[in-house]
Amino acid sequence: MRQVVLTLLFWWGLVALGHAQPAGGAPAPSGKLTRKEQRALEKEQHDMEKKLAEVRARRVAARSAMSAQQSEREQEQSEALFVEGVKFVLLEDYTKALERLLKAYALNPENAAINYKIAEANLLSGNLRDATNYAEASIRLEPKNAYYYLLLANIQASQKQYEGATKTYAALIKQVPNSTNYLFNLADLYLAQNKLPDALTTLEQAEKEFGQVDEISFKKQQIYLKQNKLDLAIAEGDKLIKANPTESRYVLAQAEMYASNNRLPDAVRVAQQALRLDPDSPQAHMILAEVYRQQNQPDESAQQLKLAFASPALDIDERVRILVGYIKQLPSPKEPVNQLARDLAAATIKTHPKEAKAYAVAGDIQTLTDRKKEARDTYLKALRYDNSKFQIWQQVVLIDAELNQTDSLLAHTDRALELFPNQASLWFYNGVAHLLKKQSQKGVKALEHGRRLVVGNAVLLGQFDSQLGDAYHELKEYDKSDAAYEAALVSDPNNVQVLNNYSYFLSLRGEKLDKAKQMSGKVIKQFPDSDTYLDTYAWVLYKMKDYAGARAAFEKIQLATKDGSIIEHYGDVLFQLGEREKAVAQWQRARKIGGASNLLERKLKDQKLYE
């Protein structure tokens, strides 16, 4: 450029000189420039170069200013996108978060914070591979930031890459000042990998850094126990007790260690030491109870349990855990065990009178130790404090049915169905209660509704059909009754109740007697001495006019039975066989026992058979 300028200047100078004429008009002689002309030319050249330099400088400055302005805009854009991305991370909208953060990254890829936040968003959204890459980048860009190492370690641990996480924590402790508190995390990672010597070394390093710390001693104990170095573990416990002589929890921990390692006399000694520090300590009593149990001293063990349960400090969940252990043993052939379980349950209610679970577990124990009525009342108290547990309602209903308390059964199923309208079993017992109350239409309605709710439970379906068979018989809807019984037998072909009832009702109607005989015969093969089932079989034979067969069946049961209807039937058979006096004698016997049909008095008055 400089050469071109000089050439142009030289050409311009020559032209100028060519136009400069001497005074006489003659051309100036050719040759060198004069000194004055030379100086003028040099000055003009210097001025021109100065002007060109100024132009060049202005252009460079303009370009620099434009670049700086552009860079500043990109920086502002990147920061704005970063802030917006962080907002979406907080809102847990990781798709939008990553969209903003990656745009910020495109504008400023060397920003450690952006890399860190992208890693975090990927971790939270489950993209662990990208999370790892960006977390590693954040550490490379800013190796003194502890949070970046922690994120990477978290990502690695979530992938069970414990060795990688261990290296990350080690690098954190080495690279970041004042980060020795992370020695505890490093020790935990070594423990997770069962690298016990490395964990122990790390804990000892932490102990040098922080001095006597409970957490360090507890973890060292854990390691020593895994290494079967009981004496070293006990020594750590002794150090804790010595450093904290008034803290019963360290003494209790030592007693538990002795007990769990079969050092029972030492466990008793240290547990008693804990009681001297805290006479009401339920944990100390629990340890002693377990030790005495292992030493086959049941009375001493029971006494310690009672002392533990008398303490309000014993947590309700711990009580329930212990009581559940007893429930697994109940009912025990040893009554003291049953009584102890009930006593502990009562103590639980006394100390936690507003806890539904206290009443629920007490109800379970009473149920298993044959205190059904007490159990039902206890379950109802549980429901006062929490009526949302279907299992408790179910227990109440089952006990109502077992105790034959129809009014209670109806009331409790009605209440339970308000809370659990889709529970088929509640509809079943509600229907049964209506049938027992002679409310057949309501019973059928409840049973039909509940039956539609049964899914994948053939036994329950059969129970519904069995009850519907009885209910429709009461309503004299015999086709529906028969259909229900047939359906029940599809679910369970050997359902004794269905076989007996179905055959008996057929005999009363005088229909399908061969089928009735076959079903009833199937039952008495299983129960040859049952007066109820023999009565049905005999009555089927009677309706088939096989009076001799009916008499043989009745004679197996008539002397022992206390059912007036069976004796009445026996009399009817004797009458058909022409033994009138014997028949009347049986009818009189039936009247005395009670429970016979409303035709009995006419039979006795007229000494004649009425059917």
In a domain, 273, yes or no: yes
C-alpha distances (whole Å) from 363 to each of 9, 195, 342, 529 are 117, 48, 9, 37
**370-389 mean pLDDT:** 96
Distance of CA 257 to the CA centre of its chain: 31
| Residues 265, 271, 276, 282, Cα dihedral to 10° | -150
Give a yes or no: residue 50 inside a domain. Answer: no
Q: Tell me whether residue 292 is in a domain.
A: yes
Amino acid in position 577: L
Residue-wise pLDDT for 48-72, tens only, equals 667 666 656 665 554 554 444 547 8
Is residue 302 one of the residues assigned to a domain? yes
| CATH number, position 264 | 1.25.40.10
Confidence category of residue 45, pLDDT binned at 50, 70, 90: low
pLDDT in tens, 492-551: 999 999 999 999 999 999 999 999 999 999 999 999 989 899 999 999 999 999 999 999
Q: Tell me the pLDDT tens digit for each residue of 132-156.
A: 999 999 999 999 999 999 999 999 9
Question: In this prediction, what percent of the chain has a pLDDT beyond 90?
Answer: 75
Return the pLDDT at 86: 93
User: Nearest 5°: phi and psi at 143?
Assistant: -75, 0
Give the chain's mean pLDDT. Answer: 88
Q: Burial, 35: exposed, middle or buried (Cβ in 10 Å; 0-12, 13-18, 19+)?
A: exposed
Structure tokens of 367? Answer: 């149920």
Closest-CA residue to 297 (of 309, 286, 288): 288
Q: Is the pLDDT of residue 24 over 60?
A: no
Q: Calculate Rg over the CA atoms of the chain.
A: 49
Binning pLDDT at 50, 70 and 90, where does residue 78 land? confident
Position 17 scores a pLDDT of: 31
- Contact between 348 and 364 (Cβ < 8 Å): no
User: In the structure encoding, which two tokens stand for residue 493, read together?
Assistant: 């072909």
Residue 285 domain flag:
yes
* Ranges of H-type helices in 213-334: 214-226, 230-243, 248-260, 264-277, 282-294, 298-310, 316-327
**Residue 514 lies inside a defined structural domain of this protein:** no
pLDDT score for 197: 94
Tens of pLDDT along 260-318?
Answer: 899 999 999 999 999 999 998 999 999 999 999 999 999 999 999 999 999 999 999 99
pLDDT-based confidence at 595, cuts 50/70/90? confident
The token duo for 67 is 């670049």
DSSP class of residue 28 equals P
What's the confidence (pLDDT) of residue 61?
55
CB within 8 A of 348, min separation 6: which ones?
Answer: 309, 316, 319, 320, 323, 355, 358, 361, 362
Structural domain harbouring 260: 246-314
Stretch among 219-223, 425-429, 588-592 having the lowest mean pLDDT: 219-223
DSSP string for 55-110:
HHHHHHHHHHHHHHHHHHHHHHHHHHHHHHHHHHHHTT-HHHHHHHHHHHHHH-TT
Q: Does 103 fall in a domain?
A: no
Rounded to the nearest 10 degrees, how much is the dihedral formed by the CA atoms of 101, 103, 104, 105?
A: 90
pLDDT digits (tens, 9 = 90+) for 147-181: 999 999 999 999 999 999 999 999 999 999 999 99
Tokens representing residue 254 in the block: 């030592």
Handedness of CA 77, 83, 87, 88 (dihedral sign): positive
With respect to residue 299, please indicate whether it lies within any of the assigned structural domains.
Answer: yes
Report pLDDT for 129: 93
Q: How far apart are CA 324 and CA 169, in angstroms?
A: 43
Domains identified in the chain, total number? 1
**Confidence label for 19 from pLDDT (cuts 50, 70 and 90):** very low
Asked if residue 433 has pLDDT above 70, the reply is yes
Residue 399 to residues 191, 204, 363, 409, 472, Cα–Cα distance (Å):
51, 61, 11, 9, 26
Q: Are the C-beta atoms of 536 and 500 separated by less than 8 Å? A: yes
Question: How many CB atoms lie under 10 A from the CB of residue 396?
Answer: 24
